[in-house]
Every structure is written in C-alpha cells, then in structure tokens.
Structure 1
C-alpha cells in the first residue's frame, strides 16, 4: 500500500510552491434557489460547487462532515468519490498511451502474459476502461462469501490471478458489465509497465500535475479532514468503508470539490491531454450507457439545444458524488454527499443546476 503520509507531505509542498495559493472563501456566490430547495427536500449534507473553466462562482457546504464529532461540512472536507476514481485512472492511462507505454487497442496479454489465452488475446485496454471486457466478476461473490477478504491486502497481480480468470461472459465490446475486476486488471497492467505502485503512477501522471493536493486513495474515516459516511436515515447511522489498495483504480479515491472542479477544467478544456486523448476520453463506446472511457458523456438539453457534458459519478458506502462538465462552455457542477442519497437524485439535481430540461421518463 502506498504511504499516505508521504503523499500528503508532497501535496503540502505543492501547495506551498510559489504562485500556487489555494486559499479561498468558504462561502461564495449569491443564494441559489435550486440548491436551497434541494437541500430542504432531501436534507442534503455535503458540498455543492458551481464554476466555469476551473473558477468557482458558487460554493456552499451543508450539514455535518461528522455528526458524532459535531464537525460541520466545509468547502475543504474530503469525501469518497467512488467511481470518479475510474476517470482519474483513465487519465493516467491515456498519458501512458501518449508516451508509448500503453495502447488502448492492444490485447491485455501484451502486458499480462499469464492471463488466460482467450481473454488475454481478445480483451483490450479500451474494453477494460469502458467496462465491456466480458471478463466475469469473481470478486463480488468471493467478498459476499468471505467479508474478511477486505482485511487482507493482495497485489494487483494476485487479484487478477484470483478474480480475473473466469470464462468470458460475452465477446469483448458487445455488452456493458460494470465491476471492479476490470479495474484490477488495469491496475496490474499499469504496475507491470511502470514498475511502480499504481497509486504512485496516478500521483505522478494525474493528481500531482493537476494540483489535486487533497485527492488520494486509501483514506479512512479517521483520517483528518475526511467526512464520516452514513447509512440513509432516519436516523443516520455511521458506515465503515474498508478498501483494499487494489480497489483504488475503480473506486478508492477521496477528493474535495475544489480539486475536482479544477481537474475537470484542465482535463477537458486545456491541452493537458493530447487532442487524441481528449477525443478518446469523450467518445461514447457503450451507447446504451452513454459510457466512454472511465465515465459517461451525457447529452443535456439546455435552452432547447443538445449540449454534451462529461459526467462522472460515484457511490460507495454512504458517499455519493457528481462531477459534471459541459464540453462547450467549460461550466462545471460538483456535488459531494456523505448520507447515501440516491445517484438519480444527485444527477437530477445537477441537471437543474446546469439549467437542463428534465430527462424523458
């Protein structure tokens, strides 16, 4: 497991560097009636941030980060972002593609020669990143049978050997099957190519260069600044969030609203990624799910016109989140919650904040 203290020390040095001041007001912008109505209706706890091209225009924190400790939510509170981790992982992979270390269209046996021959020769990195590999999910059944599994660390290579060798369920690229084993394999590939722990590679290529100084995997509720997550009430009850290191790529990262807002701008609006990488990141591969690589690209109807938005969401152990970014204007909405609100409720809330028409059905 990567050393969390070491990463935070590096993050602290990054924040202290000349010209990189992140001091910002805790409350920003005029009252927003859409937000106020949602907070009242849903008893929302968490952070809502709205901005354009990396600069926030509205920020509010509501409720508690930790009810038992009487700790209020703030702009700086760190939340589990679950599957938004897939987006961070995909950015790192695309940067490795740009460097010639990986190829989206090469079979995974290129880097994992011990993968069983059928999936090893037919499943590509793009299939994994779009959750369309056809490799079955042997991890969830194993976890249900033995919850103690989360108490015993295992390497990515071991996880692939143990959970990623089942008979394929369908030809790769023909269906959508959303599960962590795809991302165990991505992790093993990255580590095999780079000879470094996965989280170090993501720091080197994604979270570090994007100045995401409060974004990291492997955090727990007891870490300073991290929100406690809760089962949906009433009454709200604390939840635990045990994670293996190998789960980081698919759902193990924690972050703040500011980190996500700035990252969305840099990734989608600037040449941080090559033009080819940005196209790959925003090209839908699974139309029935609006899924591209590591996240969705949704069509919002705004002022009667279709507008594309990168749409990253996350939900795990009481944490729920949305990172939506309009690809035409650079407008961004970030919603972070720790009381197990439904993903649909948060998505509809984000739609309203963008001024989008209600979805059909």
Structure 2
C-alpha cells in the first residue's frame, strides 16, 4: 500500500499546494463533470512518493470508490514492460537488434509492401530491406493497427480482428494472419503505431523457449514483487478491478473532445470482464492489468538504471540505449509518422525501444526535460519518467479512447509547475 499524500506533506522539492491544485483540477474538470469516473495520480521524486490521490469512482454502477489498490487495464503501458523483457534476452546474447525478423518467423520471409487492392487480392512489391528486430521495438516495421482506419491494410487487420481492444485468436494465429497481409511501407521508411510489440511478446516466448507470460512473471513481476500485475485478474482480486468506460456514446473509439462534452458509456463491466479469466491471446502490446503501486515499482527500477532492491532487470547502458531516439536520421515523430493515432504528442518527440523519448521540450510546448521517456494506454492511463529531475508520474483512469481529452498535456504542465527545486 502506498503512503498517502499526508505522509509526505511537502518534500523532494515539490509544492504541496501546487500538487493539490492538480487534484482540484481533476475533480472539477473531469470527475464532477462526468468526463472520467475517477482518477488516480501518483508523483514520485527523489526517492519519495510525494503525492498520491484517488478521486471519484472506480465503478459508477456499483458506487465503488477509487482506492490505492484499484486494478486497471493498462493496455499499451504493457509495451514498455514487454520491451524491457525483450532487452533482457538481448543482454544475454540470445538476439541482436539487427537480426531479420524472418529468422524467427520464417513465414514472414516473403512479406511484400502494399501497392494496391483489397484483401485477399493485394498487389505488392518487395520491401527495400527486410524487417529487423529494431523495427518492431521502434514501430518502423510496416505493421499497423486496424483502428487507424487509414488504408486497405488497416481494413484487413480489422477483418482478421488483429490488434483489437477485445483480443481474438492467439499469438500464433496472429502471426499466421499477418503473413497474409502486406506491410504498409518498407521497414525503416516510416513510423506507424502498430501491433509490433505483440510480435515482440511472441518472439520472447520463442527465444526464451517458455510462455511469454511465464517469462514476465519469473523474470520481472515476481522478483520485483509486482503481485497485482498480470494478463488477467484472479477471482480473489476481482472486486478491485475498475470498470472501463467509453467517452463515445456508442462505446467506440471515435470520440474527440470537440464533438461531445461529458458523458460515459460502460465499455467493460468488471463483473463480466474478459480480464477475469486467462486470455487465449497474450498481448505484449496491450494485455496487462496493474496498479499504480506495481507500475511505480517497474518505473523505479528503470529510473535507478535497471535495478531495484537488488533485482537487476537491465544494465544502465542497455537502458540508455532503449531511451535514446532510434528514429532513422535522428528525426522526431512528425518527420516520419504515418500514424493516425499514438499515445504521445509529436513535436519534439522521438521514439526509442519501447518508449517515446523527449528530444526538445521547447518544440513540445510543454514543460519537461530532454531525455524523458513515456507512454500511455488506450483507457487514458499514462506515465513518464524524467531522469534529470528524478521524477516519475503515473496517472490512472479507465476511459476509452485516450485521445478524448488533453489530460496528459495538462498533467505534465501542472506536475512540472509543482517543482520548486529543479535539478537543472
């Protein structure tokens, strides 16, 4: 259980009043207005939890309040965990970042690049070069998500139910289905948010010669004591699972704040959720449930250079490699992105091996530091780590899609405004 805010009234160079102002903002703008059912904000700096607030409800229908141990669907905040797990195998010499993906997935050897047509009658051309492991980690693989709704390739993903919020099939069936759908572009040519990290999860299982979920449990969750992080919520903890809502009247993912103000539709009832039983599809890109406390534990291991409490996940140089910008030519996302959607603002932001990376805070027009790394989840969860300020911020709620409101921009601005003693 995390210490409440009152246990550390003002410490680590942060203003108590400014942090409480964030809570007032969340309550008035988001919870009381009906935009979010409830929120949880955790701010950690210089080795201390300096702020922890739980506002509103985890389950509106049952009037269950948000609590410190509420369990959330973290969706794409799974991606950094999966990427770290893969880099543990990289450190062991079992895989190289420039290995061709077809070395491990032979059925992808002849994947072509989309030219024209619709499934199954696609016209393709050979890629300029083979897809490499690094392309999967940095989303330059040529893969996509069906919800991008931009191309005939996206449509083929939707038809095959690849990468949907409600997972279908298995990792093996996804790999087989993807062998029949062309790439959107030649690997390394562009950036596009995609199922690439699901493929990384599949490769972990294959390279480690054990189930992917078992690898995470044995190598990350159990050693770090992340006992509430898993691909399903067991019966004994089911009462702690938050309800998930949609900001779209139809329960979809198309809502944007300019179109509709407030109002929530129940999207996943915690009493009947598919997350209550082990899934057939173990999604390394978006399948985990977790708590603020558990995710803080993971982030603390990262901010300390890959080690926490005697448990080392990665060496500091490997983590430095992961949190460097890996977009070709050192450009930021706007220069390479074809994605209609991502869990990060674009200007001044690059992408590493599993995280967005801030290159130039001035171009983001939000306070921050060069070298921050971050990501978020489809249900509006988010985190960022700022090594320069020794700062971790974790935000939890359960509202789809994450593009509904500018909450992340507001949180970053207000959290940085609370710093009274900067390390810079």
Task: State the TM-score bracket (shorter-chain normalisation).
Answer: 0.7 to 0.9
Name the residue aligned to 2:49: 56
Q: Alpha-carbon deviations, 1:270-292, whole Å to 9, x = none?
A: 34311331122101123225211
Name the residue aligned to 1:284: 325
Please tell me whether the aligned partners of residues 282 and 297 of structure 1 are also in contact (alpha carbons under 8 angstroms). yes
Name the residue aligned to 2:187: 172
Correspondence for 2:103 among 110, 122, 127? 110
Q: Which has the larger radius of gyration?
A: 2
Name the residue aligned to 1:236: 264
Please tell me whether the aligned partners of residues 53 and 265 of structure 1 are also in contact (alpha carbons under 8 angstroms). no
Q: 1:220 to 1:195 in 2, by over 3 A?
A: same
Please tell me whether the aligned partners of residues 160 and 177 of structure 2 are also in contact (alpha carbons under 8 angstroms). no
Q: 1:238 to 1:258 in 2, by over 3 A?
A: same
**SS of 1:203 mapped into structure 2:** helix
Query: Can you give the 5+ residue segments of structure 1 that lack an aligned partner in the other structure?
Result: 1-21
Correspondence for 2:417 among 347, 352, 355? 355
What is the CA–CA distance in structure 1 between the aligned matches of 2:298 and 2:56, rounded to whole Å? 25
Q: 1:271 to 1:335 in 2, by over 3 A?
A: closer
> Is residue 2:93 matched to residue 1:100?
yes
Q: When the two structures are superposed, what TM-score results if normalisation uses the length of structure 2?
A: 0.69
1:213 CA drift (Å): 1.6
Q: Alpha-carbon deviations, 1:52-91, whole Å to 9, x = none?
A: 2553111110110111111100111111111111000001
**SS of 2:202 mapped into structure 1:** helix
What is the CA–CA distance in structure 2 between the aligned matches of 1:49 and 1:294, rounded to whole Å? 22
**SS of 2:82 mapped into structure 1:** helix
Q: Alpha-carbon deviations, 1:15-67, whole Å to 9, x = none?
A: xxxxxxx5644865445113312321222512011112553111110110111
1:256 CA drift (Å): 1.2
Please tell me whether the aligned partners of residues 51 and 58 of structure 1 are also in contact (alpha carbons under 8 angstroms). yes
Please tell me whether the aligned partners of residues 367 and 412 of structure 2 are also in contact (alpha carbons under 8 angstroms). no
**Which deviates further from its counterpart, 153-162 or 59-68?**
153-162
Q: When the two structures are superposed, what TM-score results if normalisation uses the length of structure 1?
A: 0.80
> Is residue 2:265 matched to residue 1:251?
no
Query: Can you give the 5+ residue segments of structure 2 that lack an aligned partner in the other structure?
Result: 10-15, 113-126, 147-152, 248-260, 308-313, 334-345, 420-424
Please tell me whether the aligned partners of residues 220 and 226 of structure 1 are also in contact (alpha carbons under 8 angstroms). no
RMSD: 3.3
**Which deviates further from its counterpart, 252-261 or 135-144?**
135-144
> Is residue 2:393 matched to residue 1:333?
yes
What is the CA–CA distance in structure 1 between the aligned matches of 2:412 and 2:94, rounded to whole Å? 37
What is the CA–CA distance in structure 1 between the aligned matches of 2:291 and 2:201, rounded to whole Å? 23
- The residue correspondences of 1:127-206 to structure 2 (distance < 5 A) are 127-135=135-143, 137=145, 141=155, 144-145=158-159, 154-180=169-195, 182-206=196-220
1:97 CA drift (Å): 0.6
What is the CA–CA distance in structure 2 between the aligned matches of 1:111 and 1:147, rounded to whole Å? 23
Name the residue aligned to 1:311: 374
Correspondence for 1:266 among 301, 310, 328? 301
Q: Alpha-carbon deviations, 1:154-213, whole Å to 9, x = none?
A: 332221111244223222122111122x23322221121122221111222222333222
**SS of 2:228 mapped into structure 1:** coil
